[in-house]
Structure 1
Amino acid sequence: MDAVMATVRGAAPGIEAAHVLGEGRAADVLLAASGGAALLVVGAHRRGGHAGRRLGPLHRAALRHAPCPVAIVPHI
């Protein structure tokens, strides 16, 4: 995770990014951690279907319930 965060910080200097380790249902932990965020960024893996555009339960929960804008970015 440290290497990923270093890459993010190097690519976007001046933008605060944080990772949070939590215990519980993934969607609940993610939504609780996003309480003070300006943007929630969630990664997505290709899951089949039309160009991998199907969303999983975590993505749907984030889009419906996050207190901030949500960006879903594909895994490249």
Structure 2
Amino acid sequence: PPGPALVAAATGAALLVLGNRGHGTPPDAPLGTVAQYCLHHAPCPVVIVRRDQSREDGP
């Protein structure tokens, strides 16, 4: 599962940076389940980066 894997990988890290939602989360949800899990279990500070909705998808 991605949540526990990210938390384990964050051991010894100064910061864990995540996106705010994945493919399985409804667009109106504030956070995805993985981000929520990491916020509660990570051994370091967590930053959630939100996608800029005003920009077009592209390279």
* Residue in 2 that maps onto 1:57: 33
Moved over 3 A (4+): none
Q: Which runs of 5+ in 2 are unaligned?
A: 53-59
1:43 equivalent in alignment to 2:19:
yes
Alpha-carbon separation, structure 2, partners of 1:67 and 1:40:
9
Q: CA RMSD in A?
A: 1.6
Structure 1 position 75, deviation (Å): 1.7
Structure of greater relative contact order (alpha carbons < 8 Å, 6+ residues apart): 2
TM-score, scaled relative to structure 2: 0.70
**Sequence identity of aligned pairs in percent?**
44
Structure with larger Rg: 1
1:37-73 C-alpha deviation (Å, 9 max, x unpaired):
0000001248225xxxx11111111110000000000
